[in-house]
Amino acid sequence: MSITSTVSRASEAVVRYFPLTVKRIRDIALLKWLPVAVGMMYVVLASPTCSGQVATVAPQAGSRPIPNTVGIFDRSRSTQTNVPITIPRFFKKGDIAHHAQPTINGTPAATWQCDAKNRWEDGSLKFAIVSVVIPQLPANRNVTIGFVDNANRDSGGQGKTPTGYLTKADMLNPAYDFEATMRLTGVASHTVSARAILSADKFRYWLQGPVVTAVIVEDREGRSFDVNTDGAEGNPLHPIFEAWFYPQTHKVEVGFTIENTWASSIATKSARNQDYSLTLTTGFAAPAVHLTQATFTQFSFTRWRRGYWVGLEPPAVRYDWNPQYLLQTTAYPNWDTNHLPDSRVAASEYAVYANFAKKYPARLTIPGFDDPEHAGIVNYDQAINAAGDSAFGSWIGLYPTWDIDYLLTGDPNLQKMMTDNADLAGRFPMWFREADHHAGSGHYFDYPKTGHVDPYGHVVSINARQQVTLALYNWDFECPGEASDKINAGAPLRYGNWPALDASHMPAFGFIPYTLTGKYYYLEQQEMEAGYEAGFRNGCTGPNDWWRQGYLGLLELLVRDQAWSIRELAYGAFIAPDGDPEGPYFRDKLLNNIARMEGEHGLPLDITDTADRRTAYNWGRNTAYYTQAANPSPLGAWQIDSASEAYAQNGRENNVNPKTLSNAGSMFMEAFLNISLGMVRQLGVANTKELLTFAAKRPFHILLDPSVNHYLIGQYCYPSKNKDGSWVADWSTFQSGYLVVPTQWGAAWTTDDLRGFQQMSGVSFMTDITVDNINGQAVWNWYKKNKPNQSELQSANIRWGIRPLGQ
């Protein structure tokens, strides 16, 4: 390996590994060995698997179907009439063959629309944004909205040719008083008008029908309304307005966004830091100021959203999302409905947000709070990559706690908490939009050289920019031959103390906000995050065992990093609207990584749809730094990496024997991986059963093998390799690798207890797997019966309260 690549690998590895060990470094001085470990720093983890056909985990036989209804509750304390309501909704496969017509207390609605966004492979409705006019919503009463199939393509203005929606002239009618302006004041100052952009025909429809017309108001193609505030050449700031018009009430809800995300090979077309103060106003005849923001720096590759109504906000309602039905759709994890959070849990969760609002109000602003002790943006800490987890307010897992609790409770306070976090999370510099036509060496979004989709305006594609590196912490590394793929920022990037995100603690910023609001901003948030995950690693190609291998997008990472990377690729593939090229793009990169993982673990390749899968498989089998293909772990140890070496070297604090072990794997990281692999399979994006079967050996034996101590399931680490470099090969040696074998379950609210729930969630995705004659359903049944402290799932740890589908 060249000196240049070694130095780059060292810098990337130190930045990547440090968050993993930050709180432990204080005690064990790991910095002493970091330079030595540079060559082992990047680990392989995996993506879900698929072979042309996608196998999903089906609900268990005997599960009782839950009626598909949503409760709408008046919060205004006065009866409302002709109330327009919009309900974003997943549907079970086969439930709705055509369009979802809402019913009101059992009676089919007269005025409605169903904007279908994507469908299951059998053609039935998967996700739609359904809107309905409720003739009367009694004060402090609930109205039940149901859904029936409607095959008439003209009903509600739906079908191939929508009707009943507003035209440009309608939206400009004085009855709506439509205007939204963003006043940016800097060296150069500008007032950006939504009305002017709409009048110039620079808009596209998002929802079309008689209940709501939603439009995205921007000039993405020509960038004619883009501005700068530094007075230099080029206009990096891109304004977007998302306007939802309700003709029954003549109300308009507007989302304001400034993106600084353009990525070009020409500096003047790319993002660059911009300083400005900001005023946001709605209303044309009667303008009202909603927000004033003192001067701040909008960093390169960041974005934000703020939402307001034109005129008075309509009376408030509360949604009961009926999570019991939603959990049957497979779109969300099957959280334990016996331990659903209640109003007290919601209040405790919201109290964390309210405390920030009171004590550190800058955290709820567009620039956030940059401070050594309490910095952050809403509930996300500025040091977001730092190690650790907390009961309340954590973002580590499949989704942030506050998003889950809003879905499960419908609490309006948590709705605000959810949207504020999603609106302002763009402060972290990791959002990229392609600014060039036929960009890079590959030219096409969907496949290098031979594709068909122009990458312009989409997330940055590594099919087009094959060797680009999106992570700002490794921004300056030059790949051989990268010149045409590199994004030209024109100057060194700076972003204060806000870190570029690796994948180690990557939150799921947009999935639930999009699927519970239907807002286009959050859809793009999910797609841009998945795009970042596809391209954030060093993009070089060649014989090196740690490069991304260009457009293949191979992500050889630490275990938890891989877990969250494949989670985001799967989410992006799952919710992308039909016809959106991002969906197939994310799935393609996911499948390449599954093939790589199968190769690394000596498993058969079961993905044969393209030659790229064989290339990725062979790279994982023969080249990947952490491959074990020639000698797989007999006990299912996932991989040997710098983290597992550190855990063994410092074994006394991890309860493993440093005298007999060279490596100790991470229990919690592999639980994260199992959960992500399971969720990918459940979503139907890819079949990961083969990988889950490999990973199931250790939890199955610990939990149901009578020769193994069951309480070891909550340990921080596990013995994986002996001092002589051989695998820990039997369960007796495995157990003897611990310094102290526990004699009871971890006490409530301890880390052992928390890790036990993480493992339980992982096992929930393995019930149809049998390993060494141990049946996964039996493992789950025993663990569910014997794991104590399960009331914690309701009070704080619902993230890890996942059950098998249908159980």
Quick check: 725 pLDDT over 80?
A: yes
Chain-centre distance for alpha carbon 454: 25
**Amino acid in the structure at residue 16:** R
> How high is the mean pLDDT of the chain?
90
Q: How many CB atoms lie within 10 A of CB 335?
A: 25
Q: How does residue 334 score in pLDDT terms, banded at 50, 70 and 90?
A: very high
Chain-centre distance for alpha carbon 395: 10
Q: Is 441 left (phi over 0), alpha (psi -120 to 50) or beta?
A: alpha
Can you read off the two tokens belonging to residue 188? 């150069």
For 27, phi then psi, to 5°, come to -100, -30
Residues 313-324 pLDDT 10s: 999 999 999 999
DSSP assignments along 284-337, one per residue: SSS-EEEEEEEEEEE-TTEEEEEEEEESSPPPPEEEE--HHHHGGGTSS--B-G
Q: How does residue 339 score in pLDDT terms, banded at 50, 70 and 90?
A: confident
**pLDDT score of 25:** 28
Quick check: 3 pLDDT over 60?
A: no
Quick check: 90 pLDDT over 70?
A: yes
Residues 426-464 pLDDT 10s: 999 999 999 999 999 999 999 999 999 999 999 999 999
Place of tokens 């939990």: 703
DSSP assignments along 686-720, one per residue: ---HHHHHHHTHHHHHHHH-TTS-GGGGG-SEEEE
Q: Can you tell me the distance from the alpha carbon of 617 to that of 623, in angstroms, rounded to the nearest whole number? A: 10
Quick check: 233 pLDDT over 90?
A: yes
Q: How does residue 59 score in pLDDT terms, banded at 50, 70 and 90?
A: very low
CA 787-790-791 angle, to 5 degrees, is 160
* C-beta of residue 418 within 8 angstroms of C-beta of residue 510: no
Say which residues have a Cβ less than 8 Å from residue 422's Cβ, sequence separation at least 6.
305, 509, 510, 513, 522, 525
Quick check: 337 pLDDT over 70?
A: yes
199, 212, 265, 264: which is closest to 238 by C-alpha?
264
Q: Which residues pair with 718 in a beta bridge?
A: 665
* C-beta of residue 236 within 8 angstroms of C-beta of residue 248: no
Residues 763-782 pLDDT 10s: 999 999 999 999 999 999 99
Q: How does residue 387 score in pLDDT terms, banded at 50, 70 and 90?
A: low
CA 224-229-233 angle, to 5 degrees, is 65
The CA distances from residue 163 to 103, 159, 208, 451, in Å, are: 20, 9, 7, 34
Handedness of CA 333, 334, 335, 340 (dihedral sign): positive
Least confident window among 166-180, 293-307, 479-493: 479-493
**Amino acid in the structure at residue 402:** W
* C-beta of residue 67 within 8 angstroms of C-beta of residue 81: no
Residues 125-139 pLDDT 10s: 999 999 999 999 999
Quick check: 526 pLDDT over 80?
A: yes
Handedness of CA 209, 213, 216, 221 (dihedral sign): positive
**pLDDT score of 58:** 39
Q: Please tell me what DSSP assigns to residue 656.
A: B
* C-beta of residue 635 within 8 angstroms of C-beta of residue 731: yes
Q: Please tell me what DSSP assigns to residue 382.
A: S
Q: How does residue 160 score in pLDDT terms, banded at 50, 70 and 90?
A: low
Kindly report the pTM of this predicted structure.
Answer: 0.92
Surface-to-core class of residue 221, CB atoms within 10 Å of its CB (0-12 exposed, 13-18 middle, 19+ buried):
exposed
Q: Can you tell me the distance from the alpha carbon of 256 to that of 233, in angstroms, rounded to the nearest whole number? A: 25
Q: Which residue has the higher pLDDT, 156 or 693?
A: 693
- For the sheet with 251-260, list strands across it: 203-207, 213-217, 238-246, 251-260, 302-310
CA atoms within 13 A on the CB side of 413: 13
| Structural Rg of the chain based on CA atoms | 26
Chain-centre distance for alpha carbon 798: 17
Chain-centre distance for alpha carbon 83: 33
Q: Can you tell me the distance from the alpha carbon of 327 to that of 342, in angstroms, rounded to the nearest whole number? A: 17
* C-beta of residue 718 within 8 angstroms of C-beta of residue 698: yes
